[in-house]
Amino acid sequence: MNPIKVGLLGIGTVGSGTFNVLKRNQEEIRRRAGRGIEIAVVADLNTERARELTNGEVEIVSDANEVVSRPDIDIVIELIGGYGIARELVLKAIENGKHVVTANKALLAVHGNEIFEAARKKGVIVAFEAAVAGGIPIIKALREGLTANRIQWIAGIINGTTNFILSEMRDKGLDFDVVLKEAQQLGYAEADPTFDIEGVDAAHKVTLMSAIAFGMPVQFDKAHVEGITKLSAIDIKYAEELGYRIKLLGITRRRDDGVELRVHPTLVPASRLIANVEGAMNAVLVQGDAVGATLYYGKGAGAEPTASAVIADLVDVTRLHTADPNHRVPHLAFQPDELSSVPVLPIEEINSSYYLRMRVADETGVLAEITRILAEGGISIDAMLQKESREGEPQTDIIILTHITREKHVNAAIAKIEALPTVLSAVTRLRMEELN
Ligand code: NDP
Ligand code: HSE
């Protein structure tokens, strides 16, 4: 059988990884797919670099529009990124009856509903394993492996750049900016690294997982997003003293009244496996009602780990493109007419435990006032740490860990605590998840 023909849009980090792995393992991949997979044309703005990367073996064009319109191309791989030109090209490819493979979580988190609907109408596949957690086959696991389960929650370290930054800062005491530069050089960071450090990239990914897990449309605009830029070294240290690690987690949880969808720095007990995921590694913990907790771990970024997921999608499409579209696995795991309009809950309505740090005057009765406010708000204290004040400085840090409570109740208590004359700083509030 003739090889299936692929057009590659963008040969940067992931594009070149895809080209190299496909070439290196072509025979093994052919035996799995049932026919060869051939990159017939590459589109990239930098045609000279593209020619070098492909050793002059492939046709190179500068205009990606040419590729999505060519009748000889069966599958288009979009590895340009962003939601400008990438959206236009993906929609055009679908319109022209091409299957699409993409690693572009930003595009799908923001425009996924439109893209999946266009693909459904045309009977083509949009595959996106590489869009979440790089090389970890988490989309396959959620969409197929766990299909018997009512999924209850997902919590994941799903941004390699920020996990790398947090690990290097903690272990080597390196500065934020230095580690971020290293992550960029290693090809982990997004073209705009604020997407990584402000939690946006993780929010794109958890939005996609949430839609697949709970059978709802993608709702990135409803996600709560906080990154690591406001995290201070002292909280990482105090968390350690209390037996916790701070990780940037993407969390989504099903409740009777809606779905929580959030990204923020989170204290996790140091004894949990996920708390020990370091560097650019990713890990996703999924709780299903039948299977219990399952954990998926691996490289979440980089050229070849991500290529691994891109090529897995290429093989899937190669095997399935002749199947009746109604018999394929739906893009969001649930049949399109079975998606539910379950609401995403505002952040004030989430349930979590909290870490509260405040600087107080080292005077009699301060702690009693603070605990009284928490008790009046119905907030139960789990643990507390009071640092010794330094000589000649009658001030100290108090750290309180709470049991699970509604976020709006904690916010109300914090406002009252901050109004106390003996509380000398704003209260630092971090969320904490036991993940058990
Ligand atoms: P790169 O920036 O390394 O690669 C993008 C490539 O696309 C560049 O070669 C760029 O050329 C080219 N390009 C830009 N505009 C056009 C255009 N109009 N037509 C043709 N080519 C164009 O990005 P990555 O490979 O890192 O990322 C690609 C996608 O994969 C993104 O969606 C990203 O979020 C996702 N992803 C990335 C991972 C990673 O580890 N890097 C992991 C998982 C997903 P030029 O350089 O000249 O602008
Ligand atoms: N910038 C992303 C990360 C790439 O650091 O995880 C993988 O999606």
pLDDT tens-digit series, residues 57-100: 999 999 999 999 999 999 999 999 999 999 999 999 999 999 99
- Is 13 annotated as contributing to ligand binding? yes
- Flag whether pLDDT at 197 surpasses 90: yes
Task: Kindly state whether residues 179 and 284 are assigned to the same domain.
Answer: yes
- Is 10 annotated as contributing to ligand binding? yes
- Flag whether pLDDT at 225 surpasses 80: yes
CA dihedral 117, 333, 217, 228 (to 10 degrees): -120
- Is 12 annotated as contributing to ligand binding? yes
Q: Give the pLDDT confidence score for residue 392 in this predicted structure.
A: 77
Q: Give the pLDDT confidence score for residue 121 in this predicted structure.
A: 97
If you average pLDDT over residues 310-325, what whole number do you get?
Answer: 95
Task: Kindly state whether residues 243 and 285 are assigned to the same domain.
Answer: yes
Task: Kindly state whether residues 145 and 280 are assigned to the same domain.
Answer: yes
The lowest-confidence range among 157-166, 168-177, 322-331 is 168-177
Residue 240's domain spans which residues?
138-299
End-of-domain residue from the set 311, 338, 365 = 338
End-of-domain residue from the set 318, 338, 358 = 338
pLDDT tens, residue by residue, 241-299 = 999 999 999 999 999 999 999 999 999 999 999 999 999 999 999 999 999 999 999 99
8 A C-beta contact, residue 127 and residue 98: no
Q: Give the pLDDT confidence score for residue 173 in this predicted structure.
A: 80
Q: Which atom of ligand 2 is nearest to the CA of 103?
A: 8
CA of 162 relative to ligand 2 center, distance in Å:
9
> CATH number for the domain including 117?
3.40.50.720
Looking at every residue in the chain, the average pLDDT score rounds to 96
Q: Which atom of ligand 2 is nearest to the CA of 133?
A: 8
Residue nearest to atom 7 of ligand 2 (CA): 301
91 belongs to a structural domain: yes
The pLDDT confidence band at residue 171, using thresholds 50, 70 and 90, is confident
8 A C-beta contact, residue 318 and residue 328: no
CA of 300 relative to ligand 2 center, distance in Å:
6
Task: Kindly state whether residues 11 and 117 are assigned to the same domain.
Answer: yes
Q: Give the pLDDT confidence score for residue 144 in this predicted structure.
A: 98
End-of-domain residue from the set 290, 318, 338 = 338
If you average pLDDT over residues 118-129, what whole number do you get?
Answer: 98
> CATH number for the domain including 375?
3.30.70.260
345 belongs to a structural domain: no
Task: Kindly state whether residues 275 and 307 are assigned to the same domain.
Answer: no
164 belongs to a structural domain: yes
Q: Which atom of ligand 2 is nearest to the CA of 196?
A: 1
CA of 307 relative to ligand 2 center, distance in Å:
13
pLDDT tens, residue by residue, 416-436 = 999 999 999 999 999 999 998
Task: Kindly state whether residues 90 and 170 are assigned to the same domain.
Answer: no
What sign has the CA pseudo-torsion 391, 395, 397, 400? positive
- Is 377 annotated as contributing to ligand binding? no
Tell me, using a 6 A CB cutoff, whether residue 160 lines ligand 2.
Answer: yes
Q: Give the pLDDT confidence score for residue 390 in this predicted structure.
A: 78
Q: Give the pLDDT confidence score for residue 175 in this predicted structure.
A: 84
Task: Kindly state whether residues 146 and 295 are assigned to the same domain.
Answer: yes
343 belongs to a structural domain: no
Q: Which of 157, 162, 192, 196 to mutate to test the pocket of ligand 2 (most atoms within 8 A of CB)?
A: 196
Q: Give the pLDDT confidence score for residue 146 in this predicted structure.
A: 98
- Flag whether pLDDT at 131 surpasses 90: yes
The pLDDT confidence band at residue 315, using thresholds 50, 70 and 90, is very high
Residues in CB range of 98: below 8 A, 6 or more apart: 7, 68, 73, 74, 75, 76, 124
The pLDDT confidence band at residue 174, using thresholds 50, 70 and 90, is confident
User: How many Cβ atoms are within 10 Å of 147's Cβ, its own excluded?
Assistant: 13
> CATH number for the domain including 155?
3.30.360.10
Task: Kindly state whether residues 392 and 255 are assigned to the same domain.
Answer: no
Task: Kindly state whether residues 249 and 332 are assigned to the same domain.
Answer: no
263's enclosing H/E stretch is strand 258-269
End-to-end CA distance of the chain: 50
The pLDDT confidence band at residue 29, using thresholds 50, 70 and 90, is very high
318 belongs to a structural domain: yes
Q: What is the percentage of the chain residues whose pLDDT exceeds 90?
A: 91
If you average pLDDT over residues 319-343, what whole number do you get?
Answer: 94
Q: Give the pLDDT confidence score for residue 49 in this predicted structure.
A: 98
Task: Kindly state whether residues 144 and 292 are assigned to the same domain.
Answer: yes
pTM of the predicted protein model: 0.97
Tell me, using a 6 A CB cutoff, whether residue 156 lines ligand 2.
Answer: no
Task: Kindly state whether residues 230 and 321 are assigned to the same domain.
Answer: no
344 belongs to a structural domain: no
23 catalytic per annotation: no
> What are the angstrom distances between the C-alpha of 30 and each of 18, 38, 125, 237, 238?
15, 10, 20, 51, 53
Q: How many domains are there within the chain?
A: 3
CA of 174 relative to ligand 1 center, distance in Å:
28
361 belongs to a structural domain: yes
Task: Kindly state whether residues 150 and 295 are assigned to the same domain.
Answer: yes
DSSP label of 49? H
